[in-house]
């Protein structure tokens, strides 16, 4: 099971590779443009599965342009952005054994299960190392029912920095705001930030002092525990050094933070915080877990009373409930694109150098063997990725092949991601990147 010690190790891994205040968007852009490829990547993972009928235009069964097609109702918000969209059907994740969820395996491309620690790093973390360095290489936010987000403000089910090293998701926007922008705030937020900082500093000192009395067999594990506090405190200090820059991007705090009427209020402000971390250059990799990689989740703010596991037992196509959820997701994707489009970068905008990956942690359905894992890509990153099209694959290449492709476009010379020759012989009919994805 995942415990607090492992969570802090994940916390350490999430910020341990962070660098100095000099690594902000202008420097990062220069580093990336010399190499080519994406400068930042966003993963949006919806739980309960992604039925292909909710994204593939009716009657489209083979590789086609989207130019004259009408997008299905669940993703109709993306209609004005069809030229930036690539719908992919026919990847598989059989080897991840998704069932209710593949958990870490969805982004890791390996077998995952409820309560089982990750067996290797996940693609989002590996990309965060390959992309231009930032203060916080990787940020993960998780959306759920208001009760779950309140009682479990952090949880780790999707991202990992290595075997047994989960990276936690932020689910309480008040805590996340304090971490990112507490140093530039005023009033109660500033007071809370300073109080929390003092407590964390004292815990780090106390933990470091007390660890020496432990047996040598436990010392290494304890040192990792202490390092989690050191890196968290170090991140806060680095963010404080760029406070002037961050003020331009910090979202406005309103009653949705402190008095949310519905969980979707927190979903919305969590998205704002995640996107602000991207646009400010705090991070280069954002993972959004709608349902937090599990089988839960709630959308009462959309007028949906059902929540959690029962949603996964409903057929998604033509289902008014799932139409609302997918439409909500699509509007979020539009908000991300519009925000990135508004920030100049080079001769274009930040969106011109960003890839958004939308899929599910659960392949095509809640109860599934993973034989089909639909994916939508948004953005071409300077013409590297194909867009404005639908691609139907033959079901013989795994999600790992897509992840290999992403790493190669980020400058990593690899032929496979988290798949050895023995597994590849059984689960992958090809080798290297997906040619169908690249322009």
pLDDT confidence of residue 31: 38
- pLDDT of residue 144 exceeding 80, the answer is yes
Give the predicted TM-score (pTM) of the model: 0.86
- pLDDT of residue 167 exceeding 60, the answer is yes
Q: Are 90 and 395 in contact (CB under 8 A)?
A: yes
pLDDT confidence of residue 37: 78
- pLDDT of residue 357 exceeding 90, the answer is yes
pLDDT confidence of residue 343: 96
Find the mean pLDDT for residues 161-179. Answer: 91
pLDDT confidence of residue 71: 98
Question: Residue 242's pLDDT band (boundaries 50, 70, 90)?
Answer: confident
Find the mean pLDDT for residues 43-60. Answer: 97
pLDDT confidence of residue 206: 53
Where do the structural domains in the chain lie, given as residue ranges? 4-369+376-400
| Tokens coding 145 | 């029912």
Q: What does the CA dihedral 406, 410, 411, 414 come to, rounded to 10 degrees?
A: -20
More confident residue, 276 or 191: 276
* Angle at alpha carbon of residue 334, lines to 331 and 337, rounded to 5°: 155
pLDDT confidence of residue 225: 52
- pLDDT of residue 3 exceeding 60, the answer is no
- SS3 for the chain, per residue? CCCHHHHHHHHHHHHHCCCCCCCCHHHHHHHHHHHCCCCEEEEEEECCCCCHHHCCCCCCCCCEECCCCCCCHHHHHHHHHHHHEEEEECCECHHHCCCCCCCCHHHHCCCCCCCCCCCCCCHHHHHHHHCCCCCCCCEEEEECCHHHHHHCCEEEEEEEEECCEEEEEECCHHHHHHHHHHHHCCHHHHHHHHHHHHHHHHHHHHHHHHHHHCCHHHHHHHHHHHHHHHHHHHHHHHHHCCHHHHCCCCCCCCHHHHCCCCHHHHHHHHHHHHHHHHHCCCCCEEEEEECCCCCCCCCHHHCCCCCHHHHHHCCCCCCHHHHHHHHHHHHHHHHHHHHHHCCEECCEEHHHHEEEEEEECCCCCCCCCCCCCCEEEECCCCCCECCCEEEECCCCCEHHHHHHHHHHHCCCCCCCCCCCHHHHHHHCCCCCCCCCCEC
Kindly state the percentage of the chain with pLDDT values over 90.
72
Q: Are 317 and 54 in contact (CB under 8 A)?
A: yes
Find the mean pLDDT for residues 110-131. Answer: 96
CA distance 25 to 36: 15
The dihedral sign for the CA sequence 382, 384, 385, 387: positive
pLDDT confidence of residue 239: 79
Q: How many CB atoms lie within 10 A of CB 287?
A: 28
The pLDDT tens digits of the residues spanning 376-397 come to 999 999 999 999 999 999 999 9
pLDDT confidence of residue 240: 76
Mean pLDDT of the chain: 86
Q: Are 84 and 97 in contact (CB under 8 A)?
A: no
pLDDT confidence of residue 409: 96
Find the mean pLDDT for residues 262-286. Answer: 97
pLDDT confidence of residue 13: 37
Find the mean pLDDT for residues 303-328. Answer: 95
| Tokens coding 68 | 């004259």
Q: Are 136 and 15 in contact (CB under 8 A)?
A: yes
The pLDDT tens digits of the residues spanning 14-23 come to 333 333 334 5
Find the mean pLDDT for residues 407-414. Answer: 95
**Helices 187-210 + 173-181 axis angle, to 10:** 80
Q: Which of 177-191, 228-242, 419-433 has the highest mean pLDDT?
A: 419-433
Q: Which residue has the tokens 């309960």?
A: 48
pLDDT confidence of residue 44: 98
* Cβ-Cβ contacts under 8 Å for 181 (sequence gap 6 or more): 239, 246, 250
Question: Residue 182's pLDDT band (boundaries 50, 70, 90)?
Answer: confident
Question: Residue 199's pLDDT band (boundaries 50, 70, 90)?
Answer: very low
Beta bridge partners of 438: 385
Q: Are 54 and 75 in contact (CB under 8 A)?
A: yes
Question: Residue 352's pLDDT band (boundaries 50, 70, 90)?
Answer: very high
Beta bridge partners of 41: 285, 355
pLDDT confidence of residue 243: 79
Find the mean pLDDT for residues 261-274. Answer: 98
Question: Residue 6's pLDDT band (boundaries 50, 70, 90)?
Answer: very low
Find the mean pLDDT for residues 137-156. Answer: 94
């Amino acid at each position: 099971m995942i415990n607090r010690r492992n969570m802090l190790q994940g916390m350490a891994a999430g910020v341990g590779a962070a660098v100095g205040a000099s690594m902000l968007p202008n420097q990062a852009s220069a580093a990336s443009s010399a190499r080519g490829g994406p400068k930042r990547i966003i993963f949006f993972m919806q739980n309960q599965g992604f039925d292909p009928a909710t994204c593939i235009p009716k009657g489209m069964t083979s590789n086609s342009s989207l130019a004259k097609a009408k997008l299905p109702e669940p993703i109709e918000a993306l209609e004005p952005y069809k030229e930036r969209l690539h719908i992919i059907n026919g990847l598989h994740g059989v080897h991840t054994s998704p069932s209710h969820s593949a958990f870490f395996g969805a982004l890791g491309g390996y077998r995952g299960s409820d309560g089982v620690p990750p067996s290797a790093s996940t693609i989002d973390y590996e990309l965060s190392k390959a992309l231009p360095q930032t203060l916080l290489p990787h940020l993960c936010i998780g959306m759920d029912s208001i009760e779950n987000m309140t009682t479990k403000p952090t949880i780790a089910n999707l991202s990992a920095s290595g075997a047994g090293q989960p990276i936690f998701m932020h689910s309480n926007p008040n805590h996340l705001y304090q971490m990112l922008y507490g140093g530039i705030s005023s009033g109660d937020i500033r007071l809370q930030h300073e109080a929390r900082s003092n407590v964390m500093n004292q815990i780090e000192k106390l933990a470091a002092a007390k660890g020496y009395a432990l047996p040598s067999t436990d010392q290494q594990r304890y040192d990792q525990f202490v390092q989690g506090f050191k890196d968290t405190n170090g991140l806060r200090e680095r963010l404080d050094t760029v406070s002037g820059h961050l003020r331009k991007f910090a979202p406005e705090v309103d009653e949705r933070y402190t008095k949310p009427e519905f969980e979707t209020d927190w979903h919305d402000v969590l998205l704002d915080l995640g996107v602000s971390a991207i646009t400010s250059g705090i991070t280069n990799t954002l993972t959004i877990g709608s349902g937090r990689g599990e089988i839960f989740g709630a959308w009462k703010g959309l007028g949906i009373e059902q929540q959690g596991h029962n949603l996964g037992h409903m057929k998604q196509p033509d289902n008014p409930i799932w139409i609302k959820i997918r439409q909500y997701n699509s509007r979020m994707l539009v908000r991300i694109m519009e925000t990135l489009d508004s920030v100049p970068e080079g001769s274009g905008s930040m969106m011109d150098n960003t890839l958004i990956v939308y899929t599910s942690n659960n392949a095509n359905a809640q109860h599934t063997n993973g034989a089909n894992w639909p994916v939508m890509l948004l953005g071409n990153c300077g013409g590297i990725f194909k867009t404005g099209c639908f691609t139907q694959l033959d079901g013989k290449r795994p999600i790992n092949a897509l992840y290999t492709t992403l790493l190669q476009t980020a400058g990593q010379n690899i032929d496979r991601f988290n798949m050895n020759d023995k597994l590849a012989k059984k689960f992958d009919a090809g080798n290297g990147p997906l040619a169908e994805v690249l322009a």
